[in-house]
A = this chain, B = another copy of it.
Amino acid sequence: MESEKPDLDYFGIFSGISETIVTTTKVSLPNAAPIGIIRKDNKVLVRLFKGSQTYENVYEGNFLVANVVNNPLIFVRSTFSDLDTSYFDVISLEDREFPVLNDALSWVAFECSSTKITSEALVAELNPIFACLNRCVVSAPNRGFNAVLEATVHATRYRLTGDDEYLKLIQMYARLAVKCGNERDKLAMEMLYDFLGL
């Protein structure tokens, strides 16, 4: 575990938008949700939409953990449901106690600053304060895993709008997961269909 301004590259948070699982807490109750961490030049930002538990926890606590995860089941499950406590470890560091995912390849804990609140969302700058690399896994890109991520994004939009365009994209990605994915990717896509009631 590193506590001197962690090197984000080393912990898997590169330029662009990193698709992570953000863990937060409120009165010891851990929460997890898929959130993009935006890194541009020397700034790291997050945008959280009002109404989510992550928004509420960050609004109150000014703290979040970005977990780097390669497990498609966690992306789908945390999008549509609350992860039960078995998914979390609790870390105690310098008077802080916070939840991380025990399946994370790595995680980075951030303090939030310069938080701006709009009518729809909260945008905060993120300052890394702790980080941990649990295990390093080399993996060739897999279009099936990638398809699960895309389907998850479009599934949240589909649930909000009911727009058939999103459904068509979800179906396109489901075919890709079956063609290119491994068993876990296929199971994640089945789980996504179940959550959508398809």
Contacts and interface: CB of A to CB of B under 8 A. Distances in A.
Contacts of A137: 12, 136, 138
Interface in A169-191: 179-183, 185
B68 A19 contact: no
Contacts of A138: 10-12, 68, 105-106, 133, 136-137
A70 B14 CA distance: 12
Contacts of A16: 142, 144-145, 180-182, 185
Q: How many copies does the complex hold?
A: 2
Interface in A138-160: 138-146, 149-150, 153
Interface of A: 10-20, 36-37, 66, 68-70, 105-106, 133, 136-146, 149-150, 153, 179-183, 185
A138 to B, nearest CB: 4
Contact of A68 (B106, B139, B180): B139
A-side interface mostly = mixed
Contact of A149 (B10, B69, B70, B146): B146
Given A146-B146, A146-B149, A149-B146, A139 B14 contact: yes
Of listed A13, A139, A149, A153, residue having the most chain B CB within 10 A: A139
Contact of A19 (B14, B136, B141, B149): B141
Given A149-B146, A179-B17, A136 B136 contact: yes
Contacts of A18: 140-142
A15 B183 contact: yes
Contacts of A106: 138
